Amino acid sequence: MSKKVVAFEFEKETKNSVRFKEVPEEGTAPIVGTLYVQKWFVGNTKNIEISIDKKD
């Protein structure tokens, strides 16, 4: 099993959610790309991190 932490930064607000774009590590391709998170959860946060556990 491997674990990866992916960073995202605010891109724009939509009606009920906030769109974040991935900030890939230098020299690597994005893993997730764009992520939508509901406004009620994210509030006015501008940066988030998501942990991904890859189970082999």
- In three-state form (DSSP H/G/I as H, E/B as E, the rest C), the secondary structure along 1-56 is CEEEEEEEEEEEECCCEEEEEECCCCCCCCCCCEEEEEHHHHCCCCEEEEEEEECC
pLDDT at 12: 97
Per-residue model confidence as pLDDT tens digits over 5-18 = 999 999 999 999 99
pLDDT confidence of residue 44: 94
Percentage with pLDDT > 70 across the chain: 98
The Cα 12–Cα 17 span in angstroms is: 9
pLDDT higher than 80, residue 1 = no
Give pLDDT, residue 31: 94
